[in-house]
A and B are shown apart, each in its own frame.
Chain A
């Protein structure tokens, strides 16, 4: 399946072009108002692109109304019909196709089984919890076996614990049904844990597209680096090239990073993830990038702890260490050295 896209409007979606493989779990990630939902609605046919086209499985979708597209959408509000029970909600799409009564009943039962809602078939949506509604909405969208399933912030309405369980559940269902999923979310953790590929969007444009690891480890620019997880940015200029390292002069001193083909004097930013920063109470001789500082704040988070270190220049650097059960050994206000490997820093030019 291929989908080519180059749509519309100076504001909402601006010259986006994406090709999605059959069976992918594709996630559109971005802050609110970046155009990701508009893009999704155009795929569903609820919005028409001003320019460009949508091709699904070789068929051009131009002028095809939503009720004739092989696409189903699951809304953020779930949009369950309040005047129909769960089974009627799920069977709604099949009843529009004039299928036999028995086939409809069979497919609805199988779908309720898949989302573990068989016991709720006769209940009205109003009596269901948020998680139950979410599963009914999913079943209703999946039962027509669309070529493309669109999910608009499917987990946002759920509370935190349920959200995390549901991520695995959605991935399991995605594997089982083999349908192409396109999901919209503003939650970077959700995007990374579920997607086979992520497109990070801003102001109607795709900033970067790739596998979760690639986008997280090798962000293309400052926006992507900052939007996907926490990051320490050191602004500076390329000062020297040698010994296989690229030396960058920053406001905290000269830092070494893995060699990149850049001219001397180029303005760059070094992005260092907090989990790649190491901490020690004595200076580390072995590391090229070792900076002294004062430990200011410790935020205990259970599986890990976050630290804020104030460097001599006054700027704050964040570090994250896993809790290995041996105590942290650092106290706020104490002298500390932080270090990171040259290959832990990503050199950004934009």
Chain B
């Protein structure tokens, strides 16, 4: 047996990569285009990046996105960790299977359905209780929390399941109170998974268009929504520049999340 790849395999792999990444590469390349036309190359330039930073609408949307993402990631972290704790530590309780399925359902739930149902919920809630008042950053963040919980729960549960319980018992046995054990032993050891879950939730929130569109109000346009609506009016190379920046940000976040998860802790 040899490890050499046949020309056929190499060709297939190359085709696969071209299919996946050629569109992205072209977006990045044309973000440095001097021409106003997205399809005609007229030399290297950073003018669209300059224009992007002067574009107030995009700047505002970026801040909204960031605010939503920070709230959503943090909320999802807390709730997702509680879900993971219940799933990993309480191996048998009534309705566990249902609970596990419901907690992770958003992973496969179509965004349109999730967005629509949340919108209907918010509207009904407002009519019944007066809260939340209208749609805005808060409602988008709540919607993103429901999505992020699933991701955080999956990541953190994996970590907790492989966690040696006798570490906690040893600390308890050596005189640490249960609360102290949690903060001195458990938390530091699952911290990488918590950070990774938080980063994933952050990325998801920054990326989301569909759910945000359903649950957003007039004053809370997120960055993906700005991109989408401006593309419909005609593609500006500014959007290429913005896409490139988002791409970089998301790549950094996801890469650090997977790095944290891989980091050995023994």
* Mask: chain A, 14-49; 1 = CB below 8 Å from B; 0 = not: 000000000000000000000000000000111000
Residues of B within 8 A of A73 (CB): 169-170, 173
Q: Is the CB of B169 within 8 A of A75?
A: yes
Q: Is the CB of B173 within 8 A of A71?
A: yes
A107 to chain B, nearest CB (A): 13
The answer, among A72, A81, A97, A144, for a CB contact under 8 Å with B167, is: A81
Give A115 to B173 CA distance when docked, in angstroms.
Answer: 20
Count of CB-CB pairs between chains A and B under 8 Å? 65
- With contacts A75-B170, A126-B266 taken as known, whether A67 is within 8 angstroms of B189 at the C-beta atoms is no
Interface residue tally on B, bucketed by range: 20 to 34
- With contacts A67-B175, A93-B175 taken as known, whether A79 is within 8 angstroms of B170 at the C-beta atoms is yes
The answer, among B166, B171, B173, for a CB contact under 8 Å with A77, is: B166
* Mask: chain A, 36-77; 1 = CB below 8 Å from B; 0 = not: 000000001110000000000000000001111101110111
Q: Is the CB of A66 within 8 A of B172?
A: yes
The answer, among B166, B167, B169, B185, for a CB contact under 8 Å with A66, is: B169
At the interface, yes or no: B188 with Cβ under 8 Å from chain A? yes
Q: Is the CB of A82 within 8 A of B189?
A: yes
Q: Which residue of B lies closest to A72 (CB)?
A: B173
B89 to chain A, nearest CB (A): 15
* Mask: chain B, 163-194; 1 = CB below 8 Å from A; 0 = not: 01011011111111110100001001100000
Per DSSP, chain B at the interface is: helix
Q: Which residue of B lies closest to A146 (CB)?
A: B173
Q: How many residues of A contact B (CB 8 A)?
A: 26
Give A273 to B148 CA distance when docked, in angstroms.
Answer: 66
Give A58 to B188 CA distance when docked, in angstroms.
Answer: 38
The answer, among B167, B178, B264, B265, for a CB contact under 8 Å with A79, is: B167
Q: Is the CB of B175 within 8 A of A79?
A: no
Residues of A within 8 A of B171 (CB): 81, 92
A65 to chain B, nearest CB (A): 8
At the interface, yes or no: A160 with Cβ under 8 Å from chain B? no
Residues of A within 8 A of B176 (CB): 67, 92, 96
Q: Which of B171, B177, B178, B188 has the most CB of A within 10 A?
A: B171
Residues of B within 8 A of A75 (CB): 166, 169-170
Q: Is the CB of B173 within 8 A of A46?
A: yes
Give A74 to B74 CA distance when docked, in angstroms.
Answer: 38
- With contacts A82-B266, A83-B189 taken as known, whether A96 is within 8 angstroms of B174 at the C-beta atoms is yes
Q: Is the CB of A81 within 8 A of B185?
A: yes
Q: Is the CB of B172 within 8 A of A79?
A: no
Residues of A within 8 A of B265 (CB): 82-83
Residues of B within 8 A of A93 (CB): 174-175
Q: Is the CB of B177 within 8 A of A67?
A: yes
At the interface, yes or no: A140 with Cβ under 8 Å from chain B? yes
Give A72 to B173 CA distance when docked, in angstroms.
Answer: 6
Residues of A within 8 A of B188 (CB): 83
Give A73 to B168 CA distance when docked, in angstroms.
Answer: 12
Enumerate B175-232 residues with CB–CB distance to A below 8 Å: 175-178, 180, 185, 188-189
A348 to chain B, nearest CB (A): 39
Give A144 to B171 CA distance when docked, in angstroms.
Answer: 13
The answer, among A81, A96, A126, for a CB contact under 8 Å with B175, is: A96
Residues of A within 8 A of B170 (CB): 73, 75, 79, 81, 140
Give A298 to B173 CA distance when docked, in angstroms.
Answer: 50
- With contacts A77-B164, A79-B169 taken as known, whether A72 is within 8 angstroms of B174 at the C-beta atoms is yes
Residues of A within 8 A of B177 (CB): 67
Give A75 to B174 CA distance when docked, in angstroms.
Answer: 12
Give A126 to B174 CA distance when docked, in angstroms.
Answer: 21
Residues of B within 8 A of A144 (CB): 174-175
Q: Which residue of A lies closest to B175 (CB)?
A: A96
Q: Which residues of A contact B (CB under 8 A)?
A: 44-46, 65-69, 71-73, 75-77, 79, 81-83, 92-93, 96-97, 126, 140-141, 144
Q: Which 4 A-B pairs have the closest CB atoms?
A: A96-B175, A93-B174, A79-B170, A79-B166
What 4 new A-B contacts, CB under 8 Å, besides A81-B171, A92-B174?
A46-B173, A75-B169, A79-B170, A82-B189
- Some 30 contacts from A to B, beta carbons below 8 A apart, are A44-B169, A46-B169, A46-B172, A66-B169, A66-B173, A67-B172, A67-B173, A67-B175, A72-B173, A73-B169, A75-B166, A75-B170, A76-B166, A79-B164, A79-B167, A79-B170, A81-B167, A81-B171, A81-B185, A82-B189, A82-B265, A82-B266, A83-B188, A83-B189, A96-B174, A126-B264, A140-B174, A141-B173, A141-B174, A144-B174
